[in-house]
Chains A and B, each alone.
Chain A
Amino acid sequence: MNDIMLSAEHVSKRFARHTALDDVSIRVRRGCVFGLLGPNGAGKTTLIRIINRITAPDSGNVTFCGHPLAPDDVFNIGYLPEERGLYKKMKVGEQAIYLAQLKGLDRREAKRRLVEWFEKFGIMPWWDKKLEELSKGMQQKVQFVITVLHEPELLIFDEPFSGFDPVNAELLKREILELRDKGHTIIFSTHNMGSVEEICDDIALINRSKVVLEGAVAEVRDSHRTGTFEIVASAGRLQERPELYQILDQSRQRDLITYHIRKEQTVTVAQLATCVADDVELRSFAEKMPGMNEIFIQTVSRSNHE
């Protein structure tokens, strides 16, 4: 298939004491943002390391752009490792140019792009500082810039938001989406479910070394709909109608009442809306879509109980 950028098939990796990946398969579509989710120690980083050829799988294959992953493919991958590290004693600008050169950019081009990125991120004044003099967030920004600088087709970010304040996390999200719009394919692992809803097209949820949930974010959320609606009314009172819905809770704030109800599966939304509108003066009527956070917790705890 042409639009698959990268796929891992039946990848397994065992360490001395535990299994990190057990028959894991993922498919990453070209030009999409792929979220690799899972609790700590689920095996996300191991999978990412295998894709980057830092470590080798015990069994299984990784396919890159339609061919088996070859040593030279890593030059088309930009990788932001979870264990952030750069040369501490080296000056920021110099070090960024060096690493960019190793990725195949020539010096002048590397410098031009770096200045652009540094100005965008507001870290230009630190160009001549040693890395160890920078704050952690600042170092993260530098490392992010270094990762994307050579504009590889595939970008892999391992926990890109860790250590960022909300403002900078927002900045990073914007940059990731912008990179996607430019045609880059992005894999990132995270615990930050809010960001998953905002920027991921597809996800795979790994728990205890297995993929327990995968698919497009919209589909995943759709399939986890529980039929819960939120109704805000300014007057009237919602009747109990057990054959149509169940009132989960209600709360009053000044003159507005908020109800949460769960409809029965056989009832259509239109039916529900009509009978609710009969009872109360509607201010709003909306289906409560499940958040990725709930889905995450639900799925993980369910698979832990199995």
Chain B
Amino acid sequence: MNKTLIIILREYTTRVSKKSFILLTLLMPVLFAALIVVPIFLGKIEDDEQKKVVVVDRTGKYLPLFKTNEKYLYVPDSEVRADYKSDDTDVEAVVLITGNLANNPNAATIYGRKEIQTDLRSSVEEVLASQIRKEKLSAYDVPGLDDIIADVEKDFSVTTVKWSKDGGENFSSSDIAVAAGFLFTFLIYMFVMAYGGMVMQSVMEEKTNRIMEIMVSSVKPFQLMMGKIVGVALVGFTQIAIWGVLLLGIFTIVGQVLMPELGAEAVSSGAIAPMGVDSAAIAQASEGSQNEMWVALMNLPFLEMGIMFLLYFIGGYLLFASFFAAVGASVNSQEDSSQFTMPVIIFLIFGMYAAMGSAQNTDGPLAFWASMIPFTSPIVMMVRIPFTVPLWQELLSLAILYGTALSMVWVAAKIYRVGILMYGKKPTVREMMKWIRYK
């Protein structure tokens, strides 16, 4: 059997069979589900309580505007009574309107024994503001004003259509494309941050266990590095797959047993985008026409995105993991290693910003170059792909990415090897050059 394969197998099985791995893999989805479900659940409970608000309107004009809803019960009164201020009142707040608000903007005040809730203040402001606007407009005495206002307030949005190759029309939406791009970006980021450190530790393992001398005389450092990087990646895939299945299961059960209407919502957003990125897209979708959004979503090049996502995900992981491997190869203890995660984070954040910039103009120079440079290409390309990228650019970018990743693994292996040769020596440049060629 190939030695790299043997190493991959060991890295994988020893990690997956660890108690800590099993425990974390099983606990995380539960924690995560709790994180989503509990706040929603608590929010629901609070909603049920209706609060009593007294409205004292000296003008009498504004009183009919306050409509009792499930949150606030508006009660009219002629004056502010003393018992509203007492300890045993059930009145949450008092809205006092002393004059015509169109003339005197400061004539409305909300009193309360407790801090007035922002929610109440904004709903009162909203009610009064729209009335004042209408009053002010009607003061100009324009005929047919109500119709004009209704006409002006009509929703307006530009529909974007992308011509397909045969000249047909496809609805498209850059919002959804960007959201999908960011979702992928986020996944790559999380994966690299979570498992890159594991690669680093794994590379240090032989040094701390003093088994290095045996390993060096059994395998080539490149095989060792590659085995560790791939082994850890498989551990990551396994963990994420289990999390996905468990989360889906938990939400389905929670949805069906405990909260029928809430559960369905959580499943749809939880399963597709566990981090809630998708809910941003949903929120945007609700602003525009739901139907068109759906069409736009269906028109995304899913197959291409899926394949490219896999390729860039693996390539991106390989690149960053090999960087972590190089760090692990060059330091001897855990303490020395922690600061080296910083450059990786900087590269990833830079990639994220480049992706945001590229989303504005997906064919511009920033987008092009950022999708060629290997450290940013996995992230930027995912944002560009929904907008159709020429095949040669995709292939070139992938070639650069994989080429760089493999060279980084090679560099990590060299660092590992030379590090051993350097043991106890202060090498000259000539010696260093000799060692780099030493096998």
Contacts and interface: CB of A to CB of B under 8 A. Distances in A.
The CB with the most chain A CB atoms within 10 A, among B213, B220, B431, is that of: B213
Nearest to A146: B214
A81 interface: yes
- Find the residue from B205, B214, B421, B425 having the highest chain A CB count within 10 A: B214
Interface string A52-78: 111110100000000000010011010
Nearest to B434: A56
B213 A15 contact: no
Given A87-B209, A102-B3, A15 B424 contact: yes
A79 B214 contact: yes
Interface residues of B, number: 30
A88 B421 CA distance: 25
Given A53-B217, A99-B218, A85 B426 contact: no
B427 to A, nearest CB: 9
A272 interface: no
B202 to A, nearest CB: 11
Contact of A85 (B209, B423, B439): B209
A158 B88 CA distance: 88
B311 interface: no
B295 to A, nearest CB: 55
B438 interface: yes
Contacts of A98: 6, 10
Contacts of A71: 220, 439
Interface in B99-152: none
Contact of B211 (A49, A52, A55, A87): A87
Contacts, number: 72
Given A89-B14, A90-B14, A106-B1, A79 B423 contact: no
B188 to A, nearest CB: 30
The SS class assigned to the A binding surface is loop
B216 interface: yes
B209 A86 contact: yes
A158 to B, nearest CB: 9
Contacts of A54: 213, 216-217, 420
Interface in B183-229: 205, 209-220
Interface size class on chain A is 20 to 34
B435 interface: yes
A154 B205 CA distance: 28
Contacts of B215: 102
A167 interface: no
B217 A16 contact: no
Contacts of A141: none
A292 B403 CA distance: 59
Contacts of A75: 218
Among B212, B217, B426, B434, max chain A CB count under 10 A is at B217
Contact of B6 (A56, A81, A102): A102
5 contacts: A56-B435, A81-B210, A81-B213, A87-B209, A99-B218
Given A53-B217, A58-B431, 13 more contacts: A14-B425, A15-B424, A15-B425, A52-B213, A52-B217, A54-B216, A79-B214, A79-B217, A83-B213, A84-B210, A85-B211, A89-B14, A101-B6
